[in-house]
Chain A
Amino acid sequence: MRPFPARRGTLVHAVRLACERADGAALAALLLRDAVAVFDDGGLAPGVSRESRGVPAVVRSVLETVGEPGLLATEQPVNGQTGIVFRRDGAVVAIVCVGIRSGRVGSLWIVLGELKLRAWNR
């Protein structure tokens, strides 16, 4: 009888659906106002902003990265907690870990790039 969106599993599931559907409004509704998205693609290529703060910037940057068609998203254990694994043609291309505060998403940590994801593709 807990109607509130405070559980990790529910929140991560909702984040996955919002990404799959590239539904910005749905993603925005899950975020805390001061939410952060941090991107790490291996630290090699310069020129891209890799940290977004606040709901609009987080939604935009996250959907630009993992909201594209052709990606298959699954919820699975990552570092002992449920995370979201994105695959293209069977290869893992992005992993999203979700930091939760006060029953909402406070941080999205997005790991990209072959180097960082090597262990998932061997």
Chain B
Amino acid sequence: MDDDTTISQSGLDRAATIFSAARPRLFGIAYRMLGSVAEAEDIVQDAWLRWQGCDIDTIENPPAFLATVTTRLAMNSAQSARARHETYIGPWLPDPIDTSADPEVGAERGEALEFAVLLLLEKLSPAERAAYVLREAFDYPYSLISEIVQLSEPAVRQLVSRARKHLVAERRKPASRPEQRRLLDAFLAAAQTGDVSSLERLFAADVVSYSDGGGVKLAARKPVAGRARVAQFVAAFSSHFWIGADLRWIEANGQHSVVLSRDGVPYAMVTANASGSGGDGSDARIDELLWMMNPTKIAALA
């Protein structure tokens, strides 16, 4: 009798130890899927109850088992959460979490924690959300994810890739370095001839042009925004700005940039930031133009 109590007590201890170790990750999965601290805590609690009811000696891989239980509970809850959000008054936002107090929530990878991403995940189906979170935030193998969401491995790969595409379509990725250079090069050619339609083709719809004139030069003091306005702005000074200019490519802050000099004296530096949805950068566009015309900073480039 005494022996039995001891054994079950130590079994419970072991169950609790395993569960505590997995807890931050389980919360991390549920929170990313639901955006709610209270709901994620409920799910972790539910997972604990199920875990306690198991004969843990028969479970081959406890962390994978716990992740499976938690994800499935979260998928169920995501269904009803969708309905709850529909009757919610006003827009719904995720509950913010203090990642300095709870660093473990983001410990595996910080991915899929930002508000912007959580709001996009909301638009996905529960299975897509689960597959994306397990893959991108926790790096689970596709084979395990396929067991967890109970779909074939190819189907899971497709879910993850669909979710990625969906997220990338809304969140731009920076273009590759060669692509950045190609776009800056094309921009320089179009800017020098003042060709508005070529300029527009290189710009994203919400391109912004920033100038730092150090309060001295004629540089536009306010940023100029929008494809047509920026193209007009650039074309407007094509005549005098580039005349007699010597273009020298440099790297500033790890970015391709071009220094413009006249008679050996630098007077401006131009950098462009480009981003695009295509992995090959084929539809990359410039979304930021940075003009440095501040004489003191330019002097440092001579």
Residues of A within 8 A of B (CB): 1-6, 32-34, 38-41, 43-46, 48, 50-51, 76-81, 83, 95, 97, 99, 101-104, 107, 109-111, 116-120
Contacts and interface: CB of A to CB of B under 8 A. Distances in A.
A46 B89 contact: yes
A61 to B, nearest CB: 12
A83 B253 CA distance: 25
A110 B88 CA distance: 16
Contacts of A45: 89
B90 interface: yes
Interface in B188-207: 206-207
B265 interface: no
Contacts of A116: 93, 95-96
Given A39-B90, A111-B96, 20 more contacts: A1-B252, A1-B253, A2-B253, A6-B210, A38-B93, A41-B90, A43-B89, A48-B90, A77-B100, A78-B97, A79-B94, A79-B97, A80-B113, A101-B206, A102-B273, A107-B116, A109-B119, A110-B93, A116-B93, A119-B97
Contacts of B294: 3
A43 B106 CA distance: 27
B9 interface: no
B288 A102 contact: yes
Contact of B91 (A39, A46, A81): A39
Given A79-B115, A80-B113, A120-B98, A40 B210 contact: no
B210 A79 contact: no
A104 B290 CA distance: 13
A1 B301 CA distance: 11
A76 B100 CA distance: 8
Contacts of A95: 96
Most buried by A among B97, B113, B115, B206: B115
Nearest to B105: A80
Interface in B114-132: 114-116, 118-119
A78 to B, nearest CB: 5
B96 A80 contact: no
A103 to B, nearest CB: 6
Contact of A80 (B114, B273, B287, B288): B114
Contacts of B207: 102
A110 B115 CA distance: 11
B96 A117 contact: yes
Contacts of A33: 225-226
A101 B287 CA distance: 9
Nearest to A95: B96
Contacts of A78: 96-99
B116 A83 contact: no
B300 interface: yes
Contacts of A79: 94, 96-97, 99, 113-115, 118
20 contacts: A1-B297, A4-B212, A5-B210, A6-B273, A6-B290, A32-B208, A38-B91, A39-B91, A80-B113, A81-B113, A97-B96, A99-B116, A102-B208, A103-B210, A104-B223, A107-B116, A109-B93, A111-B95, A117-B95, A118-B37
A1 B255 CA distance: 12
Contact of A119 (B91, B95, B212): B95
Sort A-B residue pairs by CB-CB distance and give the 6 closest, nearest first: A43-B88, A50-B90, A40-B93, A80-B113, A3-B212, A97-B115
Contacts of B98: 76-78, 119-120
A50 B88 CA distance: 12
Interface in B65-110: 88-100, 106, 110
Contacts of B212: 3-4
Contacts of B273: 6, 102
B300 A1 contact: yes
A106 B226 CA distance: 14
